[in-house]
Chain A
Amino acid sequence: MARVTAGALRRRAQRRSATTAGDEKKMPLRRQAILQALCIFVTLTVLFPIIWVVSLSLDPRDLSRPDGLNLIPPGASLDKYADAVNTPTSNPVSFWELAFNSLKLAVATSFFSVAIGVFAAYAFSRLQFRGRQFLMLAILAVLMLPAVATIAPLFLQLNAVRIGDFNLRASLAGVGLAVVSGLLPFAIWNLKGYLDTIPKELEEAAAVDGASRHQAFFHVILPLAVPALAVTAFLGFIAGWTEFYFSVTFLENVKDWTLAVALNSMVGQFATTTPWAKFSAFAILFALPVSLVYLLLQKYIVAGLAIGGVKG
């Protein structure tokens, strides 16, 4: 008796909320208007600073202090963008060299952290072995340590690796190693969390079909983990692209500078006045690649974060 009722309930409920997101339900106009107004208000608060930067970057007057609320400054032009590209800093290094350095760093750190991390994440997620709990804790412990905290020892450590004229510390490779030192634990933790949500039954089914552990990993799990891999790779890319502490502390040669370091030299405490327009133009050029990558991966990223939330 009870079973019939529950089943009927479920069927009735399913018929009413027939579409998945329930988006087709109608909402009374007044409620829609109020909620839309709220959403628009939130949108404005989110967009305002962004519009502000863009407007600053279009202002041809080289102001060292902001000039009121003019959203479209008089004589708006793209001058400052050209300026930023031609003379990004007072040093003899071109914008493209800076960008290339940033790109090298970001891609390398992103790739290695994900490539190495996914294997370890799988092991933590699926396999039993001695020391598992301890290692997991060690990784967590390192995770909450900010990158800043490892500058001193990494500086000295990398400084000790000298081959002829080449000092590992003062090179992009050294900075890359420093970034990966922090990225790898994060990648492992993040990927493990996602792998945990993939049902074990899938590998068991693969085992019944005669697949080995390795085959199960490569052919069953990895394809399913693509959203998580994309998210982790993207976050790693952002970390490398915007990385600043190690670059500014380790690098010596201006030719090795990344965009982030150049950006900092404009507003860091050694800058006397901030050329807001040029900085804004530079900032937008700096943020653009990251934003583009985000837009491409947006579906996966939001899904990855949402699933990560559900796993609890």
Chain B
Amino acid sequence: MSVATAATTARPPRRLGLPGRDARTAYLYIAPALLVMAIITFYPLIFQVYISFTDFQFKNLLPRNPGPEWVGLENYARIVESRLGNQFFNFARMLSFNLWWAFANVVIHVIIGVGVALLLNQPGLKFKRFYRAIFILPVVIPAIIVATVWKNMFHRDSGAINELLTGVGMLFKIPEQAFQIDWLRAPNDILPLMPLAFFALLIANTWLGWPLNSVVATGALQSIPKELYEAADMDGAGPWQKFRNVTLVYLRPAMVPYAIYGFVTTFNLFHLSFFMTGGEPQGKTELLVTQAFRLVYQQREYGIGAAFAVLMFFILLAITLLVNRAAKATASFDQ
């Protein structure tokens, strides 16, 4: 492009300021966040790795204690070999359960969330705003309350769920006794890895989880230009084809990152497992996070707790890297 053309074209500059100034502004803006995070976010993680190689326990916190001893990989070995002194602790099972728990939940939440979003997106449906306001309520309630209320509802003797089932059963002449289901404590797995408590947790978490999926899906649905549907109509597309070629195409870029985020949050969902089932029956609904918490809070085993957390980090890292490739979550504005 000749100099003359460049001078006469009134195009805004492609970048604000020189690269050098850009970088300086960036560092200035990032500095406070970096400083704070360096101290309370990043440093603890490094410190944690150090602790994980020691036998730091409560006794080491007492004054005049010489300090923890280096034990190398002993903590890690004890975890992976399930030698934590708790007869119900099985690392492999816990990890598999945790993964399956996250996966099952996300799949169900996305399906229901998208379903309800589609339902509410029907043109001409009345009271949409009312429904939308109500459907978001589960999210507003603090998790500990959700967990305890559902624990109450799944109570064997007269929790709401069993009462409801009994009521419905009476319509079909099923005797009352049939529905004394001990949701939270029945020890046997209905399906591999899944005791009844799993289903109780699943129901409770689904109640909690689908509304946000629905909100994200609604945002995506409302961004679909209507002309596409009309063009499809004119090409003679049926409802299923319209769904697949127009709706799904717009839904995917919104739902996929959210599903990934949902997977990680569900994987680390502390409150339901801790307050609703307490890891029962026999540690079968224990998650990595709840186990980590117990190690620190109940058993005061800071060394093993740290090792556990480090292990958790690498597991989560592997999961996130695997799916991050698909989502390209770190892509910036102009990439």
Contact = CB atoms under 8 A, between A and B. Distances in A.
Nearest to B120: A39
B153 interface: yes
B293 A207 contact: no
A42 interface: yes
B30 interface: yes
B230 interface: yes
A213 B21 contact: yes
Contacts of B138: 46
Contact of B125 (A32, A66, A112, A138): A32
A3 interface: no
Taking each of A46, A148, A159, A204, which has the highest tally of chain B beta carbons within 10 Å of its own beta carbon? A148
Interface stretch (B154-162, B178-186, B191-199): B154-162
Interface in B201-246: 207, 211-212, 215-220, 222-223, 226-227, 230-231
Contacts, number: 330
Interface in A29-51: 32, 35-36, 38-39, 42-43, 45-50
A300 interface: no
A306 B226 CA distance: 18
Interface stretch (A18-26, A78-86, A88-96, A222-230): A18-26
Interface in A247-281: 248-249, 260, 263-264, 267-269, 274, 276, 279-280
B111 interface: no
Interface in B34-61: 34, 36-37, 40-45, 47-48, 51, 56, 61
A175 to B, nearest CB: 12
A238 B45 CA distance: 24
Interface stretch (B1-9, B81-89, B308-316): B308-316
A195 B333 CA distance: 8
Interface residues of B, number: 116
Interface in B124-176: 124-128, 131-138, 140-146, 148-150, 152-153, 155, 157-160, 163-164, 167
Interface residues of A, number: 125
A268 B179 CA distance: 27
Contacts of A287: 140-142, 145
B149 A310 contact: no
Contact of A52 (B14, B149, B255): B149
A66 B227 CA distance: 54
A69 B332 contact: no
Nearest to A249: B297
A111 interface: no
Given A23-B124, A128-B26, A181 B40 contact: yes
A152 B51 contact: yes
B329 interface: yes
Given A151-B297, A306-B219, A67 B158 contact: yes
Closest 9 A-B residue pairs measured CB to CB? Answer: A306-B219, A312-B253, A309-B216, A27-B124, A120-B33, A181-B40, A146-B268, A153-B44, A149-B309
Interface of B: 12-14, 16-17, 19, 21-23, 25-27, 29-30, 32-34, 36-37, 40-45, 47-48, 51, 56, 61, 116, 119-120, 122-128, 131-138, 140-146, 148-150, 152-153, 155, 157-160, 163-164, 167, 207, 211-212, 215-220, 222-223, 226-227, 230-231, 253-258, 264, 268, 270, 275, 278, 289-290, 292-293, 296-297, 302, 305-306, 309, 312-313, 316-317, 319-320, 324, 329-330, 332-334
17 contacts: A32-B125, A50-B141, A65-B158, A129-B26, A141-B313, A152-B306, A155-B302, A156-B56, A180-B36, A195-B333, A204-B16, A245-B297, A249-B296, A294-B140, A302-B136, A309-B215, A312-B254
Given A279-B148, A298-B136, A309-B254, 15 more contacts: A9-B227, A13-B227, A25-B124, A36-B127, A46-B138, A66-B152, A129-B26, A140-B320, A178-B40, A185-B41, A188-B33, A245-B297, A263-B144, A287-B145, A302-B132
